[in-house]
């Protein structure tokens, strides 16, 4: 005998109600579990970094606990020269290294990844070029004068006035993305140590930069707008042999470096040059003067 239609429909409806209750229970369980997304994890890291920065507000105290250890920041073997021999110091002025909170995370601003964010905040994306600093650091740290132990130190001063000291034996990351991550942590943590060691390879220091320069040093500024056009090889060769060189190079996309501590202000080419190529020409001239092959 065939069952009444009303009974059959009633059982089907009960079965559907049962499935609906099960689905609602599963959705409630999923909603109660905490979500873990890629965007939320960096925010927690940045929060911890900012707390550590506030806790270590006293400049005279050293950090307690483990130093910052970043994979890919090893120490490069360098043959150190004697202190009596002359050396070179490079200062990269007006470097574009600025940290901002984009979305839920703190990032190092650059014109490629944050052009929309910069335009919304009425900023020119063309001015945010941390890649210029990256290329300049790779050029000076990979130079023969550094391998020969003639490079005393490298200083980077940002457009906001933050002064950074970089040791000659640090190994800067080769990829730009990794470099941005290192600079982001440096500006948040104020120092970066070597992997497995307590030595600080990069750190934020107090201004002015002149207090860290040798007393008897020749400070030379470079700019395409300078009226004094010279051959860098002849200029370096004619300099005194018992004085250290301090080279001030702009690390920005546009503009002019204006400092009050340089002894001379020169141009080494009739054409505008990148900071990395300018440093390359300086290192070649120094290598010829000091017979570094």
Q: Give CA separation, 76 vs 10, 80, 173, 200, 256, in Å.
A: 79, 12, 12, 14, 33
Q: Which residues are CB-contacts of 63 (< 8 A; sequence separation ≥ 6)?
A: 52, 56, 191
- Reported confidence tier of residue 139, pLDDT bands at 50, 70, 90: very high
pLDDT at 276 over 90: yes
Residue with tokens 């290294």: 97
With beta carbons less than 8 A apart as the criterion, state whether 143 and 283 touch. Answer: yes
Written as six digits, the tokens of 250 are: 């702009």
pLDDT tens digit string along 109-129? 998 888 889 899 999 888 999
pLDDT at 53 over 50: no
- Reported confidence tier of residue 85, pLDDT bands at 50, 70, 90: confident
Q: Superfamily for 88-98+130-171+201-290?
A: SPOUT methyltransferase, trefoil knot domain (3.40.1280.10)
pLDDT tens digit string along 226-241? 999 999 999 999 998 8
Higher pLDDT, 177 or 80: 177
Over residues 264-274, mean pLDDT: 92
pLDDT at 28 over 50: no
Phi, psi of 189 (to 5 degrees): -95, -15
Domain residue extents for the chain: 88-98+130-171+201-290
Written as six digits, the tokens of 147 are: 């391998």
pLDDT tens digit string along 12-27? 554 444 444 544 444 4
């Amino acid at each position: 005998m065939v069952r009444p239609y009303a009974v059959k429909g009633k059982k089907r409806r009960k079965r559907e109600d049962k499935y609906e209750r099960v689905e609602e229970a599963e959705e409630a369980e999923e909603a109660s579990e905490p979500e873990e997304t890629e965007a939320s994890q960096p925010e927690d890291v940045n929060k911890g970094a900012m707390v550590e920065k506030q806790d270590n507000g006293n400049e005279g105290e050293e950090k307690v606990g483990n130093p910052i250890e970043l994979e890919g920041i090893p120490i490069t073997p360098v043959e150190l020269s004697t202190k009596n021999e002359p050396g070179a110091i490079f200062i990269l002025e007006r470097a574009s290294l600025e940290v901002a909170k984009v979305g839920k995370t703190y990032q190092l601003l650059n014109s490629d990844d944050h052009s929309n964010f910069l335009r919304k905040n009425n900023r020119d994306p063309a001015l945010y070029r941390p890649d210029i600093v990256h290329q300049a650091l790779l050029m000076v740290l990979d130079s023969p004068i550094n391998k020969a132990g003639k490079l005393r130190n490298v200083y980077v001063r940002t457009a906001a006035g933050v002064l950074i000291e970089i040791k000659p034996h640090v190994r800067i990351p080769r990829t730009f993305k990794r470099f941005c991550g290192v600079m982001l942590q440096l500006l948040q943590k104020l120092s970066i140590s070597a992997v497995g060691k307590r030595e600080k390879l990069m750190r934020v220091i107090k201004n002015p930069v002149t207090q860290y320069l040798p007393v008897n040093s020749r400070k030379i500024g470079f700019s395409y707008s300078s009226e004094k056009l010279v051959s860098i090889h002849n200029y370096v060769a004619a300099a005194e042999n018992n004085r250290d060189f301090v080279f001030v190079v702009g690390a920005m996309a546009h503009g002019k470096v204006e400092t009050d501590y340089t002894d001379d202000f020169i141009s080494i080419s009739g054409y505008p040059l990148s900071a990395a190529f300018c440093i390359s020409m300086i290192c070649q001239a120094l290598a010829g003067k000091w017979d570094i092959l």
